[in-house]
A = this chain, B = another copy of it.
Amino acid sequence: MHDLTDKVQAVVKESGVAAGIVNVSVVGSTASISTIEFEPGLKRDLPELLDRLMPPSRGYGHEQTWHDGNGHSHLQATLMGPSITLPVREGKLAVGTWQQIFLIENDIKPRQREVIVTVCGE
């Protein structure tokens, strides 16, 4: 899991947009984005939760076609979603003090990820 908040905040500031929205999206189908209180406990809890609800298994239909062992990664990423859209107010990303934007790598091996940040507003 990676905390993207500061980088998103920097893009918002640079955009000059005072009020509007910011969309943060990861390209690909085995990673996802949401918000969380980014602290060590939850960084352990969230991957454990996702693996409990959507466990690694060779029984998925995806495995029978691709045999790459990441069927559960796709399901986790689809349920979590690849993007989030949040408000911008007074030139800043408007989230709570204990609320950070994060990317979670759902795939089974390290991947380099492209994240696209878009600011809309005036």
Closest residue of chain B to A76, judged by CB? B49
CB of A95 closer than 8 Å to a CB of B: yes
- Evaluate whether A28 and B96 lie within 8 angstroms (CB atoms) in the complex, with A40-B61, A61-B41, A120-B21 already known: yes
- How many of chain A's residues have a CB under 8 angstroms from any CB in B? 55
Residue from the list B19, B41, B82 in contact with A99, Cβ < 8 A = B82
- Evaluate whether A54 and B63 lie within 8 angstroms (CB atoms) in the complex, with A28-B99, A81-B34, A94-B116 already known: no
CB of A56 closer than 8 Å to a CB of B: no
Docked pose: A36 CA to B27 CA in angstroms: 11
Closest residue of chain B to A87, judged by CB? B116
CB of A14 closer than 8 Å to a CB of B: no
